[in-house]
């Protein structure tokens, strides 16, 4: 070898070493750490800025707890949920702010159908207030912070802040009450930021510190009213739509079509009509007709129709298009008002007293809006003292001495205005929207007024998920529907793993159905057959009879490391229907381990390595869902809901992709249990355990057989056996279980407690002699 | 020779790239979390116990008093070394069963026998000591200064409750400060028996506090708060300022809430005269023995003004049995007077008076301060 070659080799080796070291120095650099700290600082700053606007709302008794709200106006106007003020049982109460002080609040208006209310805090005219964002700009994966008073933990009225991401947009959560028309959450935002009882009515902020929603509902199941990763917030645009109505009419109303629909293979199909009231009937609308457009929007799911409907007030004219036996039909009709049942109206809070309103109302005739000129879009409004006691009282506004526009909230060409009206002996603020009522478009004399400038943007951490990655992922995931029995759920999620319709999911009762259905991301339905199951990983392989060009490449999957960010994509609680996106939540990998798990009362081992995550995946409908990294690689498949037998809590875990790949390829997913290298038949250790105290008592050694392996290792009476081959021995029963099949020639590692010391011994089991006891 | 060198070079590069595992995209935050966890890990221990009271669901009495998780698991628990000579802090949740034998396994695998020295039932923490006296240089972790804690900062939980060699990690933010009458920091990181007793740390690898289940409305039930596992509501007891508590626990004390033995008149109306009127006295309690009477109006505790029931609860909340306080009060038209008294544990008060900051036994505590209605057809009634 020439010197040149030698030096060449040395050079290459040196280079290899350098490069290897550099690769290992993926440890955190100065730059990266200061980037992390800067993001953290920005988040802290945003919270500090909006913190004072969060309200803890109580009834008359602060100790009884309550809900939350957010200030949206320096005069003290605050938006909570309707059910928060209904729970207060009165039209006034106490409110706490982060300054530790209590302020009285009074009720201004309610929207029971949409679960909103307006109250006013009193005692100041300079309350800190939050800005409403345009909720149509919210995307799945955006960072979102919920603030409020869960479980009334705020002894000093300082709110609780939780942080997560938007899991779904334009979600629909059906109503409650006898007719299911109260507390309807249409077009709502789903989040995995934790919200619990007490958070209701509180704000959901984006990372810029603007309100994108009002938190109010959650999906709950067997654990009761405790957050399991799915919360729902009324969108800020919905709040905007109904603010003026709540101010003007005290009780805002919602609209109904008096017909209902569900998702069928042919489309969104009418399944019920109230023939006395439905305005479409006279236009030839029938049961079984398929809805295609509503209010100018193409309708692709029943939920979407309901989402549109929730945003509209009664008397609103809408264009409806449908197919009647394949023939397209069209009509423009006016929607009726939703009627709240008598029994539900008991839940409506008492009406505010007259003397509590700020607005001085001169006498006048109740009546229509005068000078109503739709062509010129000008209306002069009549103001009216409230003397009737009918359930729906209306305020009409008289020509004020002065009207000053104090602010506006523009949303896609539609605007809500805040206007201060002054009269000789009083003044008040009203909200009007050109979106809500086409007759209330302008007030005379306002043309030349200036609008308040928008609050300046502050730097905020960029906290959005790559929606292109999410979109690709959604196309590779499916919704599964099958049979259900009792508490077992008939729905789940699945991941597509080949272009030929192969789908992996977790095992569950739904697989037993002869009509197992898969819904793809495009909304198409397909029947599926179960090809194979695996006992160890509890996975199942299905196939549908359609090509699936969008699938996860199991071989390209990376190894997951603790601490890395992961996104869980699944149909937990069956929130998503038809083409709607599966729910997305964010967490990190907590641990990669082999664990013993238990399915309720039945002992059941998952014999494979699993990935624990700190997103909540142990929910009905989630098993079979995808766990991906931020680049879209499949890191694991969410497993069936199980409890850990060490903590007695539900496990949030996924089967890692390398094991999923082995299952799909037909290979075993767990390693064969180690057998003793030189097993020579049954063996003995020579240990006699003290049994007189019962099998649940600790495993003390009672005696050691002479000339046995235990004797040779100097094990003694009264030694306490702690572990046997790394298995913790809690009691005599555990010891018996672990020593059921002692094999001669096998090595057993035992740790014992002797007095105050812990000792470790290794012994090799001896063969049992014939005739020995 | 040039070609040989080129060949060797290309071989080296090829070898290097081929040997790298396809690593998942690893952002700076994940790296920072891992670095922080690695920094604290040497001080985290695994606690395993043998013996103690078993639970079955038929034991209604025990079941009711425990609250929280109906059946605490039997897995290992997490603890944190707080003194190089072998003092370990952990959560009392892990000792509800009163086990007879306690062993502690260190990060490096060494295993020792330990004894329970003392406990603080107001914070749900307890102190263990390794019985081996030869240990003097066990690793401890840095502590995050309490006045630097901020709502919104990263909070990382570590625990070995699943029986793993390395801790399971979950992340969240600090949700609130000064909860449970100033005793606890609140976080939305997933906290559960998997990490009760373990450290909640910041992104710099300093300990914010010890993770423990708390439900401020049920301060006496040992497992209360564990029903909120993984729900985004969780608590940690800050280590800073805990020195006196640790000293007293090391002496073998059981610390509990300090009570005066009075029932205050409950009123939030600040328009009335500031102060808290005594509605009832526990016979023989500290207030009674100090000469206080029904109708007296308490105006100051330790010279700090007490204007309302809330203020009184705040002043007394963090106090322990055995603490001395000075109470200033007004009786009728007389001039204000002051007495010093020693607070006692609730067990020492007669059963006639209700506790200061708990409702009467007859009125059930408010369990559901507000209803966020369920959005799922399959929801069922709450357990417990």
Residue of B50, B169, B370 lying closest to A66 (CB–CB): B370
- Determine, yes or no, domain membership for A50: no
Q: What is the C-alpha separation between B63 and B384, in angstroms, rounded?
A: 10
- Determine, yes or no, domain membership for B371: no
- The range of the structural domain enclosing residue B50 comes to 40-130
Is the pTM value of this prediction over 0.80? Answer: yes
Do A705 and A639 fall within a single domain? no
Question: For residues B192 and A769, which has the higher predicted lDDT (pLDDT)?
Answer: B192
- Determine, yes or no, domain membership for B14: no
Residue of A219, A614, A731 lying closest to B374 (CB–CB): A219
Q: What is the C-alpha separation between A477 and A576, in angstroms, rounded?
A: 12
| Per-residue pLDDT at A307 | 92
| Per-residue pLDDT at B15 | 46
Element (H, E) at A92: strand A92-96
- Encode pLDDT of A205-260 as tens digits: 999 999 999 999 999 887 888 999 999 999 998 887 777 667 666 778 888 999 99
Å between A466 CA and nearest CA of chain B:
13
Do B176 and B232 fall within a single domain? yes
Q: What is the C-alpha separation between A602 and A287, in angstroms, rounded?
A: 47
- Determine, yes or no, domain membership for A238: no
Exposed/middle/buried for A599, CB within 10 Å: 0-12, 13-18, 19+?
A: middle
- In chain B, the number of structural domains is 3
Is the per-residue pLDDT at A5 higher than 70? no
Do B206 and B272 fall within a single domain? no
Do A274 and A329 fall within a single domain? yes
Do B271 and B238 fall within a single domain? no
CATH (domain of A571) = 2.40.10.120
Low-confidence ranges of chain B (pLDDT < 50): 1, 12, 14-25, 57, 268, 270, 352-384
* ipTM value for the complex: 0.83
- A185 three-class SS: strand
Do A727 and A615 fall within a single domain? no
| Per-residue pLDDT at A559 | 83
The mean pLDDT value for A284-288 works out to 94
Cβ distance A588 to B30 less than 8 Å, yes or no, reads: yes
Strands (E) in A265-345, as ranges, are 267-273, 290-294, 297-298, 317-324, 327-334, 336-337
Do A478 and A614 fall within a single domain? yes
CATH (domain of A735) = 2.30.42.10
Give which of A392, A339, A342, A395 is closest to A364, Cα–Cα. A395
Pick the last residue of a domain from A337, A354, A380: A337
Q: What is the C-alpha separation between A333 and A632, in angstroms, rounded?
A: 46
Q: Regarding beta strands B111-120 and B254-255, do their DSSP bridges make them parallel or antiparallel, or are they unpaired?
A: parallel
| Per-residue pLDDT at B164 | 84
B229 neighbors A649 (Cβ within 8 angstroms): yes
- The range of the structural domain enclosing residue A712 comes to 683-767
- Determine, yes or no, domain membership for B64: yes
A478 neighbors A519 (Cβ within 8 angstroms): yes
The mean pLDDT value for A398-415 works out to 52
Do A544 and A656 fall within a single domain? yes
Token pair belonging to A78? 């605050």
CATH (domain of B152) = 2.40.10.10
Is the per-residue pLDDT at A351 higher than 60? no
B80 neighbors B207 (Cβ within 8 angstroms): yes
Q: What would the 3-class secondary structure string for chain B be?
A: CHHHHHHHHHHHHHHHHHHCCCECCCCHHHHHHHHHHHHHHHHEEEEEEECCCCCCCCCHHHHHHHCCCCCCCCCCEEEEEEECCCEEEEEHHHHCCCCCEEEEECCCCCEEEEEEEEEECCCCEEEEEECCCCCCCCCCCCECCHHHCCCCCEEEEEECCCCCCCCEEEEEEEEEEEHHHHCEEEECCCCCCCCCCCEEECCCCCEEEEECCCCCCCCCCCCCCHHHCCCCCEEEEECCCCHHHHHHHHCCCEECECECCEEECCCCCCCCCCCEEEEEECCCCHHHHCCCCCCCEEEEECCEECCCHHHHHHHHCCCECCCEEEEEEECCCCCCEEEEEECECHHHCCCCCCCCCCCCCCCCCCCCCCCCCECCCCCCCCCC
| Per-residue pLDDT at A14 | 55
- Determine, yes or no, domain membership for B364: no
- Determine, yes or no, domain membership for B255: no
| Per-residue pLDDT at A520 | 96
Q: How many CB atoms lie within 10 A of CB A216?
A: 34
Q: How many CB atoms lie within 10 A of CB A162?
A: 30
Do A644 and A563 fall within a single domain? yes
Cβ distance A51 to B151 less than 8 Å, yes or no, reads: yes
Is the per-residue pLDDT at A144 higher than 50? yes
Residue of B15, B28, B370 lying closest to A35 (CB–CB): B28
Is the per-residue pLDDT at A389 higher than 60? no
- Determine, yes or no, domain membership for A373: no
For chain A positions 3-62, those within 8 Å of chain B (CB to CB) are 4-5, 8-9, 11-13, 15-16, 19-20, 23, 26-28, 32-33, 35-37, 39-40, 43-44, 46-48, 51, 61-62
For chain B positions 259-298, those within 8 Å of chain A (CB to CB) are 266, 268, 270
Do A494 and A642 fall within a single domain? yes
Q: What is the C-alpha separation between A241 and A415, in angstroms, rounded?
A: 9
**Cα-trace Rg, chain A:** 33
Token pair belonging to A400? 């004020």
Exposed/middle/buried for A389, CB within 10 Å: 0-12, 13-18, 19+?
A: exposed
- Encode pLDDT of A582-593 as tens digits: 999 999 999 987
End-to-end CA distance of chain A: 72
| Per-residue pLDDT at B3 | 60
- Determine, yes or no, domain membership for A28: no
- Determine, yes or no, domain membership for A108: no
| Per-residue pLDDT at B182 | 84
Do A566 and A688 fall within a single domain? no
Q: What is the C-alpha separation between A296 and A318, in angstroms, rounded?
A: 8
Residue of A16, A87, A158 lying closest to B12 (CB–CB): A16
| Per-residue pLDDT at B37 | 97
Question: Crossing angle, helix A30-50 and helix B28-40, to 10 degrees?
Answer: 100
Q: What is residue A136's DSSP assignment?
A: G
A152 neighbors A119 (Cβ within 8 angstroms): no
- Determine, yes or no, domain membership for B84: yes
Is the per-residue pLDDT at A6 higher than 80? no
**Cα-trace Rg, chain B:** 25
The percent of residues above 70 in pLDDT, for chain A, comes to 76
| Per-residue pLDDT at A513 | 86
| Per-residue pLDDT at B240 | 87
Q: What is residue A335's DSSP assignment?
A: P
Do B119 and B187 fall within a single domain? no
- Encode pLDDT of A501-518 as tens digits: 999 999 998 998 888 999
Do A654 and A713 fall within a single domain? no
Residue of A39, A83, A564 lying closest to B30 (CB–CB): A564
Do A498 and A642 fall within a single domain? yes
pLDDT band with cut points at 50, 70 and 90 for residue A451: very low
Q: What is the C-alpha separation between B241 and A15, in angstroms, rounded?
A: 52
Q: What is residue A316's DSSP assignment?
A: -
- Encode pLDDT of A165-211 as tens digits: 999 999 999 888 777 788 889 999 999 999 999 999 999 999 999 99
> Which residues on A lie below 8 Å from B27 (Cβ)?
565, 630
Question: Crossing angle, helix A3-24 and helix B2-19, to 10 degrees?
Answer: 20
- Determine, yes or no, domain membership for A456: no
Pick the last residue of a domain from A337, A369, A394: A337
Token pair belonging to B342? 């020693």
The mean pLDDT value for A152-177 works out to 93
Cβ distance A226 to B231 less than 8 Å, yes or no, reads: yes
Do A687 and A660 fall within a single domain? no
Provide CB contacts within 8 A for A726, sequence distance 6+.
Answer: A749
- Encode pLDDT of A37-88 as tens digits: 999 999 999 999 999 999 999 988 887 889 999 998 888 889 999 999 988 8
Do A656 and A692 fall within a single domain? no
Give which of B105, B208, B102, B235 is closest to B154, Cα–Cα. B208
Vertex A556 angle, CA A550 and A561, to 5°: 120
Q: What is the C-alpha separation between A439 and A397, in angstroms, rounded?
A: 13
B278 neighbors B300 (Cβ within 8 angstroms): no
- In chain A, the number of structural domains is 3
| Per-residue pLDDT at A25 | 42
A683 neighbors A745 (Cβ within 8 angstroms): yes
- Encode pLDDT of A526-553 as tens digits: 999 999 999 888 999 999 999 999 999 9
CATH (domain of B339) = 2.30.42.10
B258 neighbors B302 (Cβ within 8 angstroms): no
- Sign of the alpha-carbon dihedral angle for A457, A459, A460, A464: positive
Pick the last residue of a domain from A337, A361, A385: A337
Vertex A428 angle, CA A425 and A434, to 5°: 140
For chain B positions 166-225, those within 8 Å of chain A (CB to CB) are 166-173, 175-179, 181, 186, 188-190, 192-194, 203, 215-217
Cβ distance B54 to A696 less than 8 Å, yes or no, reads: yes
Is the per-residue pLDDT at A599 higher than 60? no
- Encode pLDDT of A648-699 as tens digits: 889 999 999 999 999 999 987 766 655 544 556 888 999 999 999 888 889 9
- Determine, yes or no, domain membership for A160: no
Q: How high is the mean pLDDT of chain A?
A: 80
| Per-residue pLDDT at A444 | 33
- Determine, yes or no, domain membership for B282: yes
Is the per-residue pLDDT at A378 higher than 70? no
Q: What is the C-alpha separation between A752 and A734, in angstroms, rounded?
A: 15
Cβ distance B383 to A224 less than 8 Å, yes or no, reads: yes
End-to-end CA distance of chain B: 80
Strands (E) in A154-243, as ranges, are 160-173, 185-191, 203-206, 211-218, 231-235
| Per-residue pLDDT at B8 | 52
Cβ of B72 under 8 Å from any chain A Cβ? yes
Cβ distance A222 to B380 less than 8 Å, yes or no, reads: yes
Q: What is residue A8's DSSP assignment?
A: H
Q: What is the C-alpha separation between A758 and A373, in angstroms, rounded?
A: 92
- Determine, yes or no, domain membership for A398: no
- Determine, yes or no, domain membership for B33: no
Vertex B40 angle, CA B83 and A644, to 5°: 105
């Amino acid at each position: 070898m020439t010197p040149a070659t030698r030096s060449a080799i040395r050079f290459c080796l040196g280079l290899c070493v350098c490069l290897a070291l550099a690769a290992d120095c993926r440890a955190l650099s100065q730059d990266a750490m200061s980037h992390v700290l800067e993001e953290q600082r920005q988040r802290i700053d945003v919270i500090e800025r909006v913190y004072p606007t969060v309200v803890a709302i109580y009834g008359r008794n602060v100790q009884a707890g309550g809900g939350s709200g957010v200030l949206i106006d320096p005069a003290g106007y605050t938006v909570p949920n309707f059910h928060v003020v209904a729970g207060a049982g009165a039209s006034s109460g106490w409110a706490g702010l982060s300054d530790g002080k209590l302020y009285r609040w009074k009720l201004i208006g309610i929207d029971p159908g949409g679960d909103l209310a307006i109250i006013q805090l009193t005692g100041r005219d300079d309350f800190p207030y939050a800005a409403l964002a345009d909720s149509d700009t919210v995307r799945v994966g955006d960072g979102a912070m919920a603030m409020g008073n869960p479980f009334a933990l705020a002894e000093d009225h300082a709110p609780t802040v939780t942080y997560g991401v938007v899991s779904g947009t334009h979600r629909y959560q059906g109503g409650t009450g006898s007719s299911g028309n109260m507390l309807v959450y249409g077009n709502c935002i789903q989040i995995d930021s934790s919200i619990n009882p007490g958070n209701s009515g509180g704000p959901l902020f984006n990372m810029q510190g603007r309100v994108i929603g009002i938190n109010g509902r959650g999906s709950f199941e067997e654990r009761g009213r405790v957050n399991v990763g799915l919360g729902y917030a009324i969108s800020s645009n919905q709040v905007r739509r109904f603010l003026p109505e709540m101010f003007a009419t005290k009780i805002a109303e919602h609209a109904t079509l008096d017909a209902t629909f569900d998702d069928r293979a042919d489309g969104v199909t009418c399944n019920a009509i109230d023939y006395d009231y439905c305005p479409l009937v006279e236009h030839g609308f029938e049961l079984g007709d398929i809805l295609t457009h509503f209010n100018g929007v193409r309708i692709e799911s029943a939920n979407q129709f309901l989402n549109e409907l929730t945003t509209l007030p009664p008397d609103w004219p809408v264009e409806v298009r449908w197919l009647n036996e394949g023939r397209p039909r069209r009509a423009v009709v006016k929607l009726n008002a939703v009627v709240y049942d008598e029994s539900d109206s008991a839940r409506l809070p008492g009406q505010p007293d007259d003397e509590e309103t700020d607005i001085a109302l001169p006498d006048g005739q109740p009546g229509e809006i005068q000078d109503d000129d739709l062509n010129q879009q000008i209306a002069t409004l009549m103001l009216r003292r409230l003397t009737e006691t009918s359930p729906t009282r209306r305020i009409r506004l008289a020509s004020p001495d002065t009207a000053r526009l104090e602010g506006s909230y523009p949303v896609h060409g539609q605007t809500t205005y805040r206007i201060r009206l002054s009269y000789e002996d009083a003044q008040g603020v009203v909200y009007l929207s050109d979106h809500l009522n086409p007759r209330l478009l302008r007030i005379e004399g306002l043309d030349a007024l200036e609008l308040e400038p928008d609050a300046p943007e502050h730097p905020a951490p960029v906290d959005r998920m790559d929606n292109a990655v999410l979109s690709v992922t959604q196309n590779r995931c499916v919704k599964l529907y099958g049979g259900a029995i009792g508490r077992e759920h008939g729905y789940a999620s699945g991941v597509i793993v080949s272009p030929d319709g192969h789908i992996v999911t977790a095992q569950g009762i739904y697989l037993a159905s002869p009509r197992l259905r898969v819904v793809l991301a495009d909304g198409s339905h397909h029947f599926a057959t179960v090809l194979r199951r695996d006992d160890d990983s509890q996975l199942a392989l299905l196939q549908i009879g359609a090509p699936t060009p969008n699938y996860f490449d199991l071989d390209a999957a990376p190894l997951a490391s603790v601490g890395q960010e992961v996104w869980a994509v699944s149909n937990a609680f069956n929130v998503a229907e038809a083409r709607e996106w599966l729910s997305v939540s964010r967490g990190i990998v907590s641990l990669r381990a082999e664990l013993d798990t238990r399915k309720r009362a039945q002992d059941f081992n998952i014999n494979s390595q699993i990935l624990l995550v700190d997103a909540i995946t142990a929910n009905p409908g989630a098993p079979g869902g995808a766990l991906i990294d931020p680049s879209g690689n499949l890191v694991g498949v969410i497993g069936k809901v199980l409890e850990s037998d060490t903590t007695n809590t539900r496990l949030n875990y996924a089967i890692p992709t390398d094991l999923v790949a082995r299952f799909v390829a037909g290979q075993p997913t767990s390693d064969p249990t180690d057998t003793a290298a030189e097993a020579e038949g049954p063996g003995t250790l020579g240990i006699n355990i003290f049994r007189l105290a019962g099998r649940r008592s600790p495993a003390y050694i009672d005696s050691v057989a002479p000339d046995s392996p235990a004797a040779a290792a100097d094990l003694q009476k009264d030694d306490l056996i702690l572990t046997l081959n790394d298995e913790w021995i809690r009691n005599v029963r555990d010891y018996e279980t672990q020593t059921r099949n002692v094999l001669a020639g096998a090595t057993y590692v035992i740790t014992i407690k002797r007095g105050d010391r812990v000792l470790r011994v290794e012994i090799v089991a001896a063969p049992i002699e014939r005739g020995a006891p | 020779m040039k070609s040989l060198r080129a060949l060797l070079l290309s071989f080296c590069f090829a070898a290097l790239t081929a040997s790298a595992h396809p690593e998942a995209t690893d952002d700076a935050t994940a790296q920072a979390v891992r670095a922080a966890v690695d920094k604290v890990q040497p001080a985290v221990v695994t606690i395993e116990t043998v013996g103690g009271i078993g639970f079955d669901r038929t034991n209604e009495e025990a079941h009711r008093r425990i609250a929280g998780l109906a059946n605490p698991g039997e897995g290992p628990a997490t603890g944190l070394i707080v003194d190089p000579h072998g003092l370990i802090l952990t959560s009392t949740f892990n000792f509800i069963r009163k086990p007879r034998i306690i062993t502690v396994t260190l990060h490096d695998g060494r295993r020792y026998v330990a004894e329970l020295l003392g406990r603080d039932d107001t914070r749900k923490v307890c102190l263990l000591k390794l019985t081996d006296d030869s240990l003097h240089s066990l690793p401890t972790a840095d502590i995050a200064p309490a006045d630097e804690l901020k709502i919104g900062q990263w909070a990382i939980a570590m625990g070995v409750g699943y029986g793993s060699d390395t801790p399971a990690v979950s992340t969240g933010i600090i949700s609130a400060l000064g909860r449970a009458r100033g005793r606890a920091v609140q976080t939305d990181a997933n906290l559960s028996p998997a990490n009760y007793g373990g450290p909640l740390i910041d992104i710099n690898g300093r300990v914010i506090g010890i993770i423990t289940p708390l439900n401020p409305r049920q301060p006496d039930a040992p497992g209360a708060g564990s029903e909120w596992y993984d729900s985004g509501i969780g608590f940690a007891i800050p280590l800073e300022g805990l020195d006196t508590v640790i000293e007293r626990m090391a002496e073998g004390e059981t610390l509990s809430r300090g009570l005066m033995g009075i029932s205050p008149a409950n009123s939030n109306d600040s328009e009335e005269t500031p102060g808290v009127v005594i509605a009832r006295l526990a016979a023989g309690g500290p207030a009674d023995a100090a000469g206080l009477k029904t109708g007296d109006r308490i105006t100051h505790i330790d010279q700090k003004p007490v204007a309302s029931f809330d203020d009184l609860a705040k002043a007394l909340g963090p106090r322990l049995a055995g603490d001395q306080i000075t109470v200033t009060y007004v009786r009728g038209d007389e001039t204000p007077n002051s007495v010093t008294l020693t607070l006692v544990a609730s067990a020492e008060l007669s059963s006639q008076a209700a506790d200061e900051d708990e409702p009467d036994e007859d009125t059930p505590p408010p369990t559901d301060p507000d209803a966020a209605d369920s959005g799922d057809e399959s929801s069922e009634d709450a357990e417990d």
